[in-house]
Each structure stands twice: as structure tokens, then as C-alpha cells.
Amino acid sequence: MRPCLLLPLICASLSAQNFVEGHVVDAVTGLPVAGAYVRGGYEIQGDPLPITDAAGHFRIEVKGKTLYSWVSRNGYVDFTRQLSVKPESIRVVLTPAAAISGRVVDENGLPVYGARVSALQYITENGQRRLRARKLSETNESGEYRLFGLTPGRYYLSFEPRNFANWDPGYGPRYYPDTQEADKAEALDLQAGEERGGRDFPLRRQPGVTISGHLVWPDGFVQKGSKLPRLANLFLQSTSYLGYSVPVAHSSSSFSIAHVPPGNYTLRSWQGALQPQIGDPMADMALQVSDIDLHDVSLEIHSIEPQDISGIIVFQGNTKRGPMTVTLQSGYGRFTSVLSNPDGSFVVKGVLPGSYSLEALSTLVEGQPKSNGNLIATELGGREVRPMNFQVGTAPAGLLKITVAALAGKITGKFVDAAGRPISGAWLGFVPRDGKQPSYAQTDTDGTFIASVWATGQHQIFVVSTQDEFDALRDPDFLQANRSDYPPVTIAEGDNPPLLIHKPAQ
């Protein structure tokens, strides 16, 4: 055999290749799924799209010890997992996808073309519970729509006329079956593989109300005898329906908005892609709209000024106290870091309005013990916010409270179906009684998992189809609807006895 002298890296790579075999089965029936595509980024060699045969079998060549797999087939929820390459066969379980369909018609019963229909689910973000779109569809020339590829769960439908509203703004967004208010929308609970048809939207013209007022400029913004400056942009944004954001007609001294449906809104200036600068004008005002016109609204303009945000780090439970580096990074890439004091206090200076992400990391400082805590919760001004996306406005932000904790317990186990067969690549969520800091684990090729939790005590087990659905573990609707799927478990400090979790039969 010819020695590998000139190409040692290539030969080493070839020697590390493995063949992995597996089967793809239906999560409901347990029957093999033929014609499923199997691929996995750079880990799969040769044919980039192996296809399962009539027995659901596939065989792929893999380099390395980890398989970043993606399995798909029409009519099923995509399977995207990171799996360990082991000698035994991989068993991939595909969940049949659900779908919602219907028509959008106008007041005369005629089809509406190009309307957008969204399948929404609740999430909790920055301390507020709101609906987020999971799937989008547009109506065809017959007014028909179909939202497919949905994972099992609870959904709400919204309708937005889009192009149809350009010539008649009286047509605004609505929720199924026929309401402008999100809390009055009808919930649709979908099972695996369920086709829910007949969800029709009647298009209705709602005159809405008119909002008008004047801009109040602060002293010093305008020199005597000169003209008033003009805001770069002014938008009215719904706080419940994020698809509703309309530009506001305005001058340097007044503004007017027509056909506004009832609801809660924020009227704010928006500088587009431009980075906020000290001294720039900015406006931000909450509005509650009923069925009565709002006139003489005073929108106060603020001059953008930096502010210093005081904070405190709270070390939860038996977490070792120590210095931590707190970093705020703006949506424009600008970041500021500060080291916390021995008592956990800190001050971040020169923060401008905008969207921010937060990071708190343990830092080794000579003569001081190093913290073993990890960031698990954040509050700004007494309101819970997400560390990856929260807003700082022109008003004083208030205290930035960061809660950190060390891992309290570890639990291992195996996740199997009703017949006792392992389920690979499933995402398990362990939610403590207070619901504040869920922990996650993903099952391996043999159904085993390892989960580390931040708090001891009773936890409820939940299963989600994809990592993107972890937001559901903070949704009261989802928790209530699925609380009885699995019995609760009590997790003690340190290592716990292994669990055997059975997935209920469909």
C-alpha cells in the first residue's frame, strides 16, 4: 500500500471516517418512513442527500464522532439534532406535521388575493407575554391559504390584508375567528398529523379612529428665529400585534394618524439603521386607543443623552460569590464592560437608548474567590427582561438586577416510547415549581440524556419538538395544556438516580 507521506492530513481524515446506519420511523404509528432525506452539514461524506428505503433504512458515511443530522420528508416536522456516532443503529423518530387551512373573503364573499395569514404561539419576552409567528402563508387567487409543517401544540391565527390595505387602510389586522383583540382570539390545539380546515376569515372594514397632536420640543433644541428640526421617522407600533407598524405623517410641529383600530400602541421615532448619537431627537409614548378619536396629543421630544445604569448581582442559593464582568452590547456592536464590586454592585456608564444584550461572566481577580455562578435571570427597573434582547429608552432605566446560580443537581436517564424503544434527538425540558429557570437536555442515539438543573426540588417534565420551541416553556398556556403528560420528578443536590421516561401512547 502506498504510504501517506505528502498528504498526512487527508489520510488521517479518511482513517477517521465511519459508516452510520439507522432507521426513520413515524412517531405515531411506529411504521418505517420511506423517502426521507438524510443529511448533515460537513459531517456527511459522499452523496449529500441519502434517502431512506422502503424499510426506512439509511446508511451514511460520517467523518468524526458527531453527526449534525437533518432528516426531512414532506408531511413531517424536520428532525434536526446533534447525535453521537456509535456502533449501534440510529433510530430517528419523525413527528407527522399538522396543518391549518381556510379562505379569506371580503364583505361580499369574494376571495382576497395576497393576504398574509400567520400561525402564532405565545412566548414570554422581556417580562411580557406576546404572540410570535411560527408559520406564514399568503392566500392564492381563490383566497385560499394553508399553513403546513406545524408541530403539535396550541396556535392562534392572525390575518393581515397587506396589499389590499394599501388603497383602503380601513382593512386592518385581525385574529381568528373575527376580532381585533389578541386576548379574544380562539386557540387551536393541534395533534400530530392533524389537518384543521375551514378556518375562514371574513374581511371587514373598520374605520378606526384618528390620532392627532403636536410635537413638544425641549428648550435649547432650536435657536431663536430658526426653523424647527424634523424627526427622521415616526412610527405607530402595536404592542400586541407586531405586524402592525405604520409610518406617521408628520411635520416638525404636528402629526396625524388615520384608521387606527382599538388597542395598545407605542408612538416612537425610529432612526432606521443609523446609530443613535448624543443630542439626536427621540420620542417614545404609549397610547391606549378605544373607539374615540384622540386629538391634541402632546408628543414630547427628548434629546438623546447617555445615562449611567446601576446594577446588583444576586448570588442564588449556595453559589460562591466573586467578581464578575458585566458587558452590555448594543444592536450596533458597541459594547461596555465593567467589573462588579465585592458586594455585587456595579455601574455601567454612558448607555444610550437602543436594543441591548447582556453577559455576566466569572472573572479571576487576585486575592478574591472566583464566582461559580451563571446568569439565569435579569431584571431592569423591576421588570424581567431577556438577556439577549431588551430595550433602553430615554427615561431612567432603573436598577439592573442580575441573578446568577451554580448548577445544583444533575439527572441522567433514558427516554423511550410506549413500546420501550429509545427515542433519539428529543428535547426534554425540566421546569421547576416556580417556573423561572427551565433546564434542557437532548437525548442521544440510544435515548439517553444528561440534564443539569439550577434549582433543587420538584420539576415538571415537558417535551418539545425543536430547540426553537423552548420559549413555550415560559408560556402558561403550553405548561397548563401539557402538565399532565409526564409525572413530576424531585431533583436533589448533586447526582440523582437515573430516570426512565416513557412517552405516552398517541
Q: Each residue of 165-194: pLDDT tens digit?
A: 555 667 777 889 988 778 889 999 999 899
Q: What fold, for 409-502? A: Immunoglobulin-like (2.60.40)
Q: Per-residue pLDDT for 468 more than 80?
A: no
User: Rounded CA gap, 287 and 265, in Å?
Assistant: 5
- Per-residue pLDDT at 274: 63
Q: Per-residue pLDDT for 248 more than 60?
A: yes
Q: Per-residue pLDDT for 10 more than 50?
A: no
Q: Is the dihedral of CA 288, 294, 298, 303 positive or negative?
A: positive
CATH of domain 98-202: 2.60.40.1120
Long-range contacts of 360-367, Cβ-Cβ distance < 8 Å, separation of 24 or more = 360/313, 360/324, 360/325, 360/326, 360/327, 360/402, 360/404, 361/324, 361/325, 361/327, 362/322, 362/323, 362/324, 363/322, 363/323, 363/324, 363/325, 363/339, 365/322, 365/323, 365/339
- Per-residue pLDDT at 102: 96
Flag whether the pTM goes above 0.85: no
Q: In angstroms, how far is CA 15 from the centroid of its own chain?
A: 41
Q: What number is the average pLDDT over the span 109-118? A: 90
- Per-residue pLDDT at 1: 44
More confident residue, 82 or 264: 264
Contact by Cβ (8 Å): 432, 455: yes
- Per-residue pLDDT at 8: 40
3-class SS of residue 117? strand
CATH of domain 307-405: 2.60.40.10
Of 63-67, 94-98, 324-328, 439-443, minimum mean pLDDT range = 63-67
Taking residue 70's Cβ as centre, other Cβ atoms within 10 Å add up to 15
CATH 2.60.40.10 placement within the chain: 8-94, 307-405
User: Rounded CA gap, 10 and 4, in Å?
Assistant: 9
Contact by Cβ (8 Å): 20, 60: yes
3-class SS of residue 211? strand
Question: What residues contact 467, with CB distance under 8 A and at least 6 apart?
Answer: 80, 427, 440
CATH H-level, domain 209-303: superfamily: Carboxypeptidase-like, regulatory domain (2.60.40.1120)
- Per-residue pLDDT at 421: 87
Q: What's the whole-number average pLDDT of the chain? A: 84
State the Cα torsion 476-478-482-486 to the nearest 10°: -80
Question: What residues contact 404, with CB distance under 8 A and at least 6 apart?
Answer: 313, 314, 315, 316, 319, 324, 360, 371, 373, 374, 375, 376
The CB-side HSE value for 453 (13 A sphere, CA atoms) comes to: 28
3.40.309.10, 2.60.40.10, 3.30.1330.10, 3.40.50.300: CATH of 8-94: 2.60.40.10
% of the chain exceeding 90 in pLDDT: 39
SS3 of 328-379: the string is EEECCCCEEEEECCCCCEEEEEEECCEEEEEEEEECCCCCCCCCCCEEEEEE
- Among 64, 76, 1, smallest CA distance to 38 is for 76
**pLDDT tens-digit map of 275-331:** 778 888 888 898 999 889 999 999 998 888 899 999 999 998 889 999 999 999 988
User: Rounded CA gap, 120 and 478, in Å?
Assistant: 13
In the chain, what is the greatest distance between 2 CA atoms, to the nearest angstrom?
A: 91
**pLDDT tens-digit map of 347-389:** 999 999 888 999 999 999 988 899 999 998 899 999 888 888 8
CATH 2.60.40.1120 placement within the chain: 98-202, 209-303, 409-502
Contact by Cβ (8 Å): 231, 301: yes
Taking residue 289's Cβ as centre, other Cβ atoms within 10 Å add up to 19
User: Rounded CA gap, 258 and 261, in Å?
Assistant: 9
- Per-residue pLDDT at 12: 38
Check residue 472 and report its DSSP letter. Answer: G
- Per-residue pLDDT at 467: 59
- Per-residue pLDDT at 88: 67
